[in-house]
A = this chain, B = another copy of it.
Amino acid sequence: MFSLFDCPNPILFGHGNSALIGEKLTELGCKKVLVVYDMGIKAAGIADKVLGFIRAADIEVVLFDKVEADPPDYLVNEAGALGVSENVDGIVGIGGGSSLDTAKGARLLLSNPAPINQYFAFRNVPGEMDGIIDKNLLKPLIVIPTTAGTGSEATPGGIITDTKKNEKFPIHCLVSLAIIDPELTTGLPSGVTAATGFDALCHSVEALTSIKPNRLSEVLAKESIMLIAKYLPIACRDGSNIEAREAMALAATLGGIALRGPGGGIPHDIGKFIGIKYHVPHGTAGGCLLAETMKFIAPCVPDKVRIVAESMGAEVCADASPEMIGEILCETIRKLYWDVNMPPMNSFVNDKAELVDNAASLFKGKSQTPRPLTSEAVAEILANSYDNN
């Protein structure tokens, strides 16, 4: 019933500390590292900044700058192969969840045979390192997130897309150190800030309303939700506002830690399908379902939904009915969509009926949720999200 709490990744959080990466790699014994990132991070000048810090510590770098969203298995294999052929003794991931997860996958392949697909893990076996030969052989990995959303820096896992099956699978991979430097996120465009911010919000809300309650996660999730409701609109309007960026970076990391035990709910489960099918960012795909999901589960977990609503600053009177609490939170989240210009579903889904039919048959009974997920319920959540967000 209760879920486990832990945070095995060591996290170093604070302004300007990406400059410490050279020192930290040296402490870990690294002399030549594979650096994994994407072209966006390169274009934003963030990669060069961090590479400068690494080189300043006399550490050689091997670059892999081809990361793609929803990291495909073949790129993970390619990054791993590059690291092996260059005989690196460590790895650095810089970027959003895709870069961090690609780096995690590549880390496994530095000391285990390719391809990555044989290390896909499955839900409900936390801690199991499927197929990994020897955890002690894993080479050091430092991750530096440049978005405030995925929480990948805070979790010992990653999500890789199996391109043959067109499906996402988890891998298990700790990081040696996560360096979170809010300064690196000041250049994020507003749209990315909003999408990744909603990803973090989903993590925290899903953690708090999970069917596997966790009093420690709740503490982190509540703070995370409060920070996001207050600071996400500011970070979207004024990307250079460092107070808002710091708050969002903290909120995302708290959300990542909080979610680990309780596990995701409806927005992440159905959102994963929407993200792949309609090629929208993970945070947009899940985020667009959050408001209606809360209305749906409120009758079963009104106290938890009240905590979410109040953490977001909504006023909920003491004698509000469960349905009323759900309505209030749904509208509060919807207002946040508008405040941060989240793209409505009709901007990326052409055929509403097709989506509703597909999802209803795919997800009936599939999501871990406090209220049984019938196909009618899936259809209603999707139709209302499409019509009203």
Contact = CB atoms under 8 A, between A and B. Distances in A.
A7 B7 contact: yes
B12 A2 contact: yes
A250 B5 CA distance: 12
Interface stretch (A59-67, A215-223, A235-243, A358-366): A215-223
Contact of A5 (B1, B7, B214): B7
Nearest to A127: B10
A136 interface: yes
Contacts of A223: 219, 223
Interface in A104-148: 136
B13 A1 contact: no
B17 A11 contact: no
A4 interface: yes
Interface in A244-263: 246, 250, 253-254, 257
Given A7-B5, A7-B7, A14 B215 contact: yes
B8 A4 contact: no
A18 to B, nearest CB: 12
Contact of A13 (B5, B11, B246): B5
Nearest to A134: B136
Contacts of A250: 215-216, 219
A266 to B, nearest CB: 24
A216 B254 contact: yes
B13 A2 contact: yes
A240 to B, nearest CB: 20
A13 B254 contact: no
Contacts of A275: none
B136 A216 contact: no
A246 B2 CA distance: 14
A58 interface: no
Nearest to A2: B14
A213 interface: yes
A9 interface: yes
Given A219-B254, A223-B219, A6 B8 contact: yes
A259 to B, nearest CB: 14
A250 B13 CA distance: 24
A253 B213 CA distance: 16
Nearest to A220: B219
A11 B5 CA distance: 5
A14 B214 CA distance: 8
Contacts of A12: 2, 4-5
21 contacts: A2-B12, A2-B13, A2-B17, A4-B10, A4-B11, A4-B12, A5-B11, A5-B12, A6-B8, A6-B9, A11-B216, A13-B216, A215-B246, A215-B250, A216-B250, A216-B257, A219-B219, A219-B223, A219-B254, A220-B220, A223-B223
